[in-house]
Each structure stands twice: as structure tokens, then as C-alpha cells.
Amino acid sequence: MYGWTGSFLRVNLTTKTWKKEAFSEEFAHKWVGGRGFASKILFDEVRPGTDPLGPENKLIVALGPIAGIPAPNTGKCVVAAKSPLTGFYGDGNLGTRVSEHLRKAGYDAMIVEGKADRPTIVYIEDDKVEFLPAGELWGQGTYATNDWISSKYGAGAGFLNIGQGGENLNRYAVIRSLEGRAGGRPGMGAVMGSKLLKAIVVRGTHPIPQVDPAAMKALGTGDLKKVHKIDQETGWSKQSTTGVLQFCNEVAGLPVRNFRKTQHPESWRVDGERLNEARIATYGCPNCTMRCGITIHDTEGRESELDYENIGLLGTNLEIFDLPQVGCLNYLCDEYGLDTMSAGCVLGFYADAIDHGAVGGDFKFGDAERAKQLLRMAAHREGIVGNLLADGSLRMARAFGNNSEAYAMQVKGLEVAAYNCKFIPGQALAYGVSPIGAHHREAWIITFEIKHTTRESYGPEKAAKVIELQRIRGGMFEFLVACRFPWIELGWSLDNYPKYFNTITGLNWTLDDMWRTADRIYGMIKLNYLREFPGTTRQADFPPAVWFDPSNADTQGPIAGKVLELDKYDGMLQHYYDQRGYDARGIPTKATLSSLGLDAEAAEAQKYATLT
């Protein structure tokens, strides 16, 4: 078998044992890698009802056939587990040298089980695995931990680590790696913390098995140069992801004041142009020639990397329009290892709930100093407020009552991304049907909606576009494991990806094979969800109620007087279900599952819930 090492590394923290496990060619071809491996392993090995923060949950670090190979933007890695935030399958994708080192050590994925008896670092070097005491690193933030790892194992080692957020089981704690790299929004850092696992460090020295390494090297390195050239010509990385901020403001899609408003006259103060002017350095993932990580000095003179989501949710959403202040909030999230997006939504919701009298408190929109204190409290679970904030918006809303769930900006427990869908129906659908809860990773259809179709439409073309993008973004890029930005941002052709896959594996896949695999993995994640929530209804696929509330309509601007319409959204959702072969609850039918080769998984899921 070429393209895969053919082995998983299984590490048990309770018994301090590990083993190398072979997987079959059939398994590799069916699940391919990354999200495919992770969703199947969790379905097979983590029983429904398992406490996500208990030792029976498993953390999966999964790579795919093109991960770590020198080719456009392959320095990525999927981290997955049952989510402490949403209660079902959750994952994230972050830039890290683990992608190359774990594969060179001989593994396509790593499964971490059990719980250590003291804070631990797992060190992997080819066929050797060590369980080392984390000692005084426990309690330290991710910057100090990164420095310690780099000085002990060398800056070139692959590593993943957590900060105080993960240690204290904040439900939206992320895993961190290189400068500015963070991933696993649905609490993957808390799963590491629950296992007393401070860090994973990997060094691998073997070649990654490929059918024709010389051909791949020529193709991959040549393409890295071409991608770099396109980036230079287009100037994309001058503003990177933040180039979208002014567009969102113009089209009334910016999150402002817990998504109550969609535009703000001061938003230009934190836009991509201002960020580029304030830039002090640029960072990126391994194997990347269009590096997107722009850093600035925060209010304390520290270096902080800002992306659009971070500015949108910690800045405009909180009505903080000062870049160094936003940089400071972002730095704290990185230091504590908290997801900036959930953190921004949680703070926005808290300010809004106070504003609406749902709960007492002293936090107001625009108050950056108090926001910094609240982030510290959430990361350390300090006091009643810190504990509430650490549990995420949905649990907070349930604790506050007073109908506050209507404006807790989340779907299935995961907080929404920085695109305000008060009147962007297709993107609202993308959040609603994202398999892990609201995330823009799966589908981002705003330009299509606004520039190429009618914004008002709730028609089948929007459902079709969401599915097309899910297959590419939530599918192919998450199972081959590579960054999607060359394609989205620079127009790098999708046809390149089967080409890389085939050159590495010797197979002859087309894009259609990729889409079929993507659909299978979506089916797998849905079955994971159904087993945990057997009584689910289609209401679970609706975005926050506030977007349907006419009293929340903008009073001026491009969408004045407009909000989403409930009946029409429901109709668009039905188009999505029909096109996907899902039943009225949003669950794949038996026939759909069978056509995807998921009969055995369907039979297992039937023990817990009804399939139609």
C-alpha cells in the first residue's frame, strides 16, 4: 500500500502503554484519512453516552495521504474527539509539523486513550514512545510551553499542546501548535486536559511511503512555487483572511453587538488594510508559500496573530474597534488555549444577556479591560462567572433562562463564525447543517449568494451549493488533510488534489471519488450524532432564533427591515435533506447509508435510534 504508512499509534495514558496497529488497504480506501479516520474510529470505539471529559473518551490526531508531503499547504492535521461542548463528534484542523513527523514516525493517526495519573507529555520518536512528567509546565500558558518544547526537542519537532483553558476543562479550549496555529474548536483542548495530557511531541525520520517519490517531489515543489507566484500577483496575503471584513460590513454581514447589528461605521479601524499597516511579522504552517498569519503588537507589546474570525468575534462583535486591544484579547485566547470564536460569542452573549436583563453583571459592549478579566476567569474557571463562561453559550443560556437561548449565537452547542446571517439565508443553512455545529469550515456561500444569485432566495440552488462546498471543504480537504486556502483564495484548481493523491498512492481517483468519500464521512458523523441524540428533530438544524425575529431587523442599510423567514428556511432545509437523501429529521435514510457503504454502521446505530 502506497500513500499510507498503514499503521495507527494507540497510546494508553492510564497504563502507560502503546502499540502500533496495522490497518487494511480496504480501510484506507474507504476512510482515506483525517476526518474519515477520526469519525470511523470514534464511532467504533467511543460508546454513546460516554462522558467527553472522562477517560473513556478518545483523542484522535489524524493525517491523510497528502499530509506532510511537500506540496501546496499540506502542513495540516485533524484533531478529533467526542466534544465536551456539543456532546457528539467534534474536530478541528490546525497547522503543525506533527503532520510530517507523525507520518515519518510511521503512523497515519494516533489514538490517545485513558487518563494519566499526573500531568504528562507524550514523546514519540519513530518506534519509541515515552510518557514524561509535565511537571511545572502544568499551569503554564501555551507560549511558555511552546518555548520549553522548542528548547528541549528543537524548533523543528512536531508538537501539540494546551494552555490553562484545556487544563481547567473549559469546553471550548483548543489545541495549539506553532505560532498563531490553533485548532479543535469544539473543546479538543479540554479533552487533552481531562486526560492530564499537556503536550504531544513527535519526531519521525523515515520516508513517507509513496509510489513515486521523485515524481511527487517534482510536482509538489513546482506547485508550491506556482502558488507563491499567484499569491504575489494577487497580493492576497497582504491582508489574508481579514480582506473580507470590509466586504462583510458593506453587505451587512458583520457581527456587531452579539450579532444584533450587521454593520458599524468604525469597522474600518480593524480591517485588513489597518492590520497590514500594523504588521510586525508573518507566520504560516509548514509547506506553505502563501503564509497568512499576520501579527501585530498588542496593548502590552506582545506579538498576536489576527485572522478575520478573531477580529470579527473578539473585535466588532464586542464593539471593540482598537486593533491592539483586539490583539490583546486574541493573545490571551492563544495563551490560555481558548477558541477565539467561541470566546467572542460567549462574551457577546454575556453582554447582551446583561443588557436584556436576563442576568445581572458588570460587562458591557466595548469594555476591553473587563473582557480581558473575563477571559482569564473563563480559562481558569474562576468563581461562578468564570464557570458559567467556561461552559459555552448554550449552557449559559439554559442557566440564565428568560428566553436568552434565542440570542445565544450557536447551533448544536458550537458558537457561530463571524458571518452575521440575519439576512443571508444560504449561509444560515450552512451553519444549520454543518455536521459539527455552526462552523464556516464546511461551507461558505456568501459571495455566491450575494454576487451570483438572489440574496432573497431560499431555493434549491442554495442547498445544492451548500452540498457542493461541504464535499470540498468539509470533505476532501479534511480527509486528504491539506489547507483549503490555495483553492479558495487563489483559485488553485481542485483537479490538482486527485493528481497529488494519485501520484502518491498509485490509484486513479477522480473528483467524483472524492465527493463520494466526503458523503460517506458526512453520513458517518451524522450516525455519531444520532446515537448521542436519538430523539433529534429538524429543529436542531435551525440557526439562532434571533435571526428570525422581525424586531431584530436592521433599521437602515442594505437589509433594512429584513430578517430570515421561518417557513422559507424550513423549505430550504427540506431541499437540502432531499438532495442529500436525508429524512425529515435530517438523518440519512437507510437507502442513502447503504449506497454509501455504511450498512454495518447503520445496523449499529439502529440499536440506539430509528433509521427510516
Q: Collapse the DSSP code of 583 into the 3-class scheme (helix H, G, I; strand E, B; otherwise coil) and give the result.
A: coil
Cβ atoms of 178 and 283 closer than 8 Å: yes
CB atoms within 10 A of CB 519: 21
- The reply on whether position 341 binds ligand PTT by CB under 6 A is yes
> Residue 409 binds which one of ligand SF4, ligand PTT, none, with CB within 5 to 8 A depending on kind?
none
Which residue lies nearer to ligand SF4 by CB, 114 or 486? 486
Among 6, 95, 498, 544, which residue sits at the site for ligand PTT (rule: CB under 6 A)? 95
Alpha helices, DSSP H, located in 291-410: 308-314, 323-336, 340-355, 368-380, 383-390, 393-400
Which residue lies nearer to ligand PTT by CB, 90 or 204? 90
> Residue 184 binds which one of ligand PTT, ligand SF4, none, with CB within 5 to 8 A depending on kind?
ligand PTT
Among 69, 285, 411, 605, which residue sits at the site for ligand PTT (rule: CB under 6 A)? 285
User: Pairing mode, if any, of strands 182-183 and 197-203?
Assistant: unpaired
- The reply on whether position 288 binds ligand SF4 by CB under 6 A is yes
- The reply on whether position 174 binds ligand PTT by CB under 6 A is yes
Q: Collapse the DSSP code of 92 into the 3-class scheme (helix H, G, I; strand E, B; otherwise coil) and give the result.
A: strand
Element (DSSP H or E) covering residue 147: helix 142-153
Among 228, 279, 291, 356, which residue sits at the site for ligand SF4 (rule: CB under 6 A)? 291
- The reply on whether position 185 binds ligand PTT by CB under 6 A is yes
List binders of ligand SF4 among 82-101 (CB under 6 A). 95
Among 124, 245, 483, 596, which residue sits at the site for ligand PTT (rule: CB under 6 A)? 483
Rounded Cα distance between 293 and 101, Å, is: 22
Rounded Cα distance between 106 and 8, Å, is: 8
Rounded Cα distance between 512 and 147, Å, is: 44
Which residue lies nearer to ligand PTT by CB, 223 or 334? 334
Residue 561's contacts (CB-CB under 8 Å, 6 or more residues apart) are: 553, 554, 555
> Residue 243 binds which one of ligand PTT, ligand SF4, none, with CB within 5 to 8 A depending on kind?
none
Q: Collapse the DSSP code of 110 into the 3-class scheme (helix H, G, I; strand E, B; otherwise coil) and give the result.
A: strand
- The reply on whether position 335 binds ligand PTT by CB under 6 A is no
> Residue 175 binds which one of ligand SF4, ligand PTT, none, with CB within 5 to 8 A depending on kind?
none
Which residue lies nearer to ligand SF4 by CB, 53 or 418? 418
List binders of ligand SF4 among 470-489 (CB under 6 A). 483, 485
Which residue lies nearer to ligand PTT by CB, 334 or 554? 334
> Residue 434 binds which one of ligand PTT, ligand SF4, none, with CB within 5 to 8 A depending on kind?
none
Work out how close the CB of 291 gets to ligand SF4 at its nearest, in angstroms, rounded to a whole number: 5
- The reply on whether position 588 binds ligand PTT by CB under 6 A is no
> Residue 334 binds which one of ligand SF4, ligand PTT, none, with CB within 5 to 8 A depending on kind?
ligand PTT
State the cell numbers at 248: 462583510
Cβ atoms of 62 and 35 closer than 8 Å: yes
Rounded Cα distance between 407 and 549, Å, is: 10
- The reply on whether position 490 binds ligand SF4 by CB under 6 A is no
- The reply on whether position 430 binds ligand SF4 by CB under 6 A is no
Element (DSSP H or E) covering residue 421: none
Cβ atoms of 247 and 239 closer than 8 Å: no
Cβ atoms of 501 and 509 closer than 8 Å: yes
Which residue lies nearer to ligand SF4 by CB, 291 or 455? 291
Which residue lies nearer to ligand SF4 by CB, 195 or 484? 484
Which residue lies nearer to ligand SF4 by CB, 291 or 356? 291
- Count of residues touching ligand SF4 (by CB under 6 A): 11
Work out how close the CB of 231 gets to ligand SF4 at its nearest, in angstroms, rounded to a whole number: 9
Please provide residue 155's backbone torsions phi and psi, each rounded to the nearest 5 degrees: -65, -20
State the cell numbers at 381: 474557571
Rounded Cα distance between 545 and 86, Å, is: 18
Residue 326 Cα to chain centre, angstroms: 21
Residues that bind ligand SF4 (CB under 6 A): 73, 95, 284-285, 288, 290-293, 483, 485
